[in-house]
Amino acid sequence: MQQPRNARALAAAYGHPGARMSGELCTVDIVADRLKLHPKTVLRFIRDGKLRAARVGKSYRILRADLEAFAGVPVSVDPSPDEAWVTSIVDVPGVDPALAKKWASVIPGALNARQGNGASMRAEVIYEAERAHLKIVAVGAPSDTANLLSLVQVWLQQLKA
């Protein structure tokens, strides 16, 4: 199979013609970090056909959906057009890299542990090392977002104590 040469060809090869590509592709290093594996192990999974990826130049790109499927993360359901969604950003100053790394694993874990079959919720944890700022971006139904923000508030209070 011939490898795609650009983002549009990559999206078409994955069955997502016209898909928005920003934020949806991961490098081998990102995948290795998220799965807590060595990059060579990720490359072996790709070569063995266990992890779907597309070659771009001399490197590989993995769609976030393929990474989640490989990792066993439940498939998210897109909200129906009549459901309200909330986007919240929590900016926490003065966070050291160790705490940022901990929160980057705890928050997705909290989302995966949720009960119920409601609409999906997404949260990204972004750490700006040069400013020592941690940003948590949560997108989901208002009640789910409120629950996550309550949990974050408890964690922040524990840091102050």
Q: How many residues does the chain have?
A: 161
Q: Judge if 64 and 92 occupy the same domain.
A: no
The domain spanning residue 14 has which CATH number? 1.10.1660
Q: Which residue has the tokens 């974050």?
A: 152
The domain spanning residue 98 has which CATH number? 3.30.1370
- Residues spanned by the domain of 130: 86-160
- Please state, in angstroms and rounded to a whole number, the distance separating the CA atoms of residues 55 and 38: 19
Encoded tokens for 120: 């999906």
What is the amino acid identity at position 11? A
pLDDT in 10s for each residue of the chain, 161 residues:
444 445 555 444 444 443 344 347 889 998 998 888 999 999 999 998 889 888 888 889 998 888 888 887 765 555 555 678 888 998 989 888 988 888 888 887 777 766 554 557 888 888 888 888 889 888 888 888 888 888 888 888 887 76
- Please state, in angstroms and rounded to a whole number, the distance separating the CA atoms of residues 50 and 142: 37
